[in-house]
Structure 1
């Protein structure tokens, strides 16, 4: 079973712009959290150690890794530095259908 919840939106909800936007935001938060967690584990850091290095609390890091919080760019920058990684942010056009 996946460690993150998966949502099955009915057709009526998928057609709602606000619901779709919330769903997309949640997907991004989960992806960011997973990337932070994967890098943290690759380096052998505990949540407590990474949180201290990034100037945040362990509960805040836990929420971020679980996809329950959308981090700001300054928080991402601190995490990238603490993870000895580069923060890369980009905007790309959608792939042609």
Structure 2
């Protein structure tokens, strides 16, 4: 288990240059305006970004929201969220602040 999932109160937020848009086809695209890069998100990543577009959230809030929307063991959902947050934080699109 990574350090992030050990700290469920860590707050995750979109950086100001990360902009999410839903296409006419219903896909969520995440644009990195600083780098000029666009990411097409899967359903669970789209849900995470949709939550973060509203306001920063704790990791526990994100896990709870996805657990109520998707079928699967909470550990698997938490691992998927962890992987997404790690990847997009490394890419500079998310911030993760531990209180």
Q: Structure 2-normalised TM-score?
A: 0.33
| Structure of higher CA gyration radius | 1
The structure whose residues are more often helix, as a share, is 1
Structure number with the bigger relative contact order (C-alpha 8 A, sep ≥ 6) is: 2
